[in-house]
Amino acid sequence: MKLVFVALLFLLVTPGVRAQSALTISSEPNAIVWIDDIRRGTTDASGQLALTKVSPGRHTVRVRADGFKETTTALLPGRRTLAVKLLPTTDQAELLFQQAETAREKARDDSSLEKAAELYREAIKLRPAFPIAHVGLARVLLDLNQFKEAHAEIEAARRTRPAYAEASAVEGRIYREEAFADDALRSFRRAIREGGGVQPEAYVGIARVFEDKGQFAEAIVEFRKALGQLSDSEPVIYQMLGAAYERIEKPKEAVAAYEKYLQLAPNGSYAAAIRSILDQLKREAAGEQIIP
């Protein structure tokens, strides 16, 4: 009993083993926030973003808002609030890049994707050594099924940033769309190495390759790795996880994943479809035991 008490006390007082804690970031309204290059959300109209899950230790926080210079700062262990001051910018390359990012995120058809691509190209013309813009353009070209051109943008990004986890993850997605599974896996695993083990987009990419191969149990492992790093900021992965559990006939686990999706995105694009199958899945799950 004494040993148990000592162990619990150790967990409470030892840095680095505490449970994830909350953090509030203050900046400009509608600013996008990344922690360790993982997008965590957007500040509200008052410039606040409250995060309920931030792991202990030192982190890097990146903040971007339209019309301002992007800023990266350190988040020191133990901090529960962080104010990030952004300075206005007149850098045309930066402003065009911001417009391109907004256009890409809002794009719903090829015409709007082409508009985003043109904005990226204008930004790159003004600043050729602009790796993040090259990767953004590669994402657009991937969506347009222009794979050769997308690969060229990844290569351009690496010329000025050779070890670039996001670029490698996007490269993996391009290879997967081209049906080059082995090349895709190599790029995704490179992304994970370059990210120091933290690259949820790459873990999802590996999972999708396993799905393509019909290896759904292996895909589940990778989806869970991604979810462990995203702190519930990407509900759609729970939908993917639920679908994978369905394929290996684990209805209880599928129900748990789908219910988590609905909790995080009650009005999400998959919400209606998930609600329509949940009752049937719950009936199938009766009497089974969820595997943790």
Could you give the number of structural domains in the chain? Answer: 2
Q: Is residue 34 part of a domain?
A: yes
pLDDT of residue 234: 86
With 0-12 CB in 10 A as exposed, 13-18 as middle and 19+ as buried, what is 149?
Answer: middle
SS3 label, residue 22: strand
Residue 40 banded pLDDT, cuts 50, 70, 90 = confident
Q: Is residue 47 part of a domain?
A: yes
Q: What is the CATH number of the domain that holds 255?
A: 1.20.58
Q: Is residue 215 part of a domain?
A: no
Domain that holds residue 70: 18-83
Q: Is residue 118 part of a domain?
A: no
pLDDT of residue 150: 98
d(CA 17, CA 211): 34
pLDDT of residue 260: 95
pLDDT of residue 291: 52
Q: Is residue 37 part of a domain?
A: yes
pLDDT of residue 133: 98
Task: Give the predicted TM-score (pTM) of the model.
Answer: 0.85
d(CA 140, CA 180): 20
d(CA 252, CA 189): 31
- 83, 111, 134 - which closes a domain: 83
Average pLDDT of the chain?
90
168-211 pLDDT, tens digit per residue, is 999 999 999 999 999 999 999 999 999 999 999 999 999 999 99
Query: In the chain, pLDDT over 90 holds for what percent of residues?
Result: 78
Q: What is the CATH number of the domain that holds 68?
A: 2.60.40.10
